[in-house]
């Protein structure tokens, strides 16, 4: 494998974000709530004044799969 693990991880993370954004846009355009519905549990990190919560959606998982496919196909 030629790619570094950090490049693969960053690409998968960007795929998650891109899928979530595109799923939200598609849901708003067509008036459906399937792609942006979060799963039951989410990862929450709470610092003193900052709370970061990451929830997975079906669209974000599709974005990660598509990005992973392109990474595998490329390398």
At 38-57, the pLDDT tens digits run 777 777 788 888 888 777 88
Q: What is the pLDDT of residue 3?
A: 63
Instruction: Indicate yes or no: pTM above 0.75.
Output: no
What is the number of structural domains in the chain? Answer: 1
| DSSP secondary structure letters along 2-46 | -S-HHHHHHHHHHHHHHHHHHHHHHHHHHT--STTPPPS-EEEEE
Among 22, 21, 7, CA closest to 72: 7
* Segment holding 54, helix H or strand E: strand 51-55
pLDDT digits (tens, 9 = 90+) for 1-34: 566 788 888 888 888 889 888 888 888 888 888 7
Q: What is the pLDDT of residue 24?
A: 86
Dihedral sign for Cα 53, 58, 61, 62, please. Answer: negative
Domain hosting 44: range is: 5-74
**CA 49 from centroid of its chain's CA atoms:** 25
Q: What is the pLDDT of residue 2?
A: 63
């Amino acid at each position: 494998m030629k790619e570094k693990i950090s490049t693969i991880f960053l690409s998968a993370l960007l795929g998650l974000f891109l899928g979530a954004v595109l799923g939200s846009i598609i849901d708003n355009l067509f008036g459906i709530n399937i792609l942006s519905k979060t799963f039951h549990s989410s990862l929450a990190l709470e610092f003193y004044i900052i709370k970061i919560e990451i929830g997975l959606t079906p669209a974000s998982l599709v974005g990660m799969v598509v990005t992973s496919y392109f990474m595998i196909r490329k390398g």
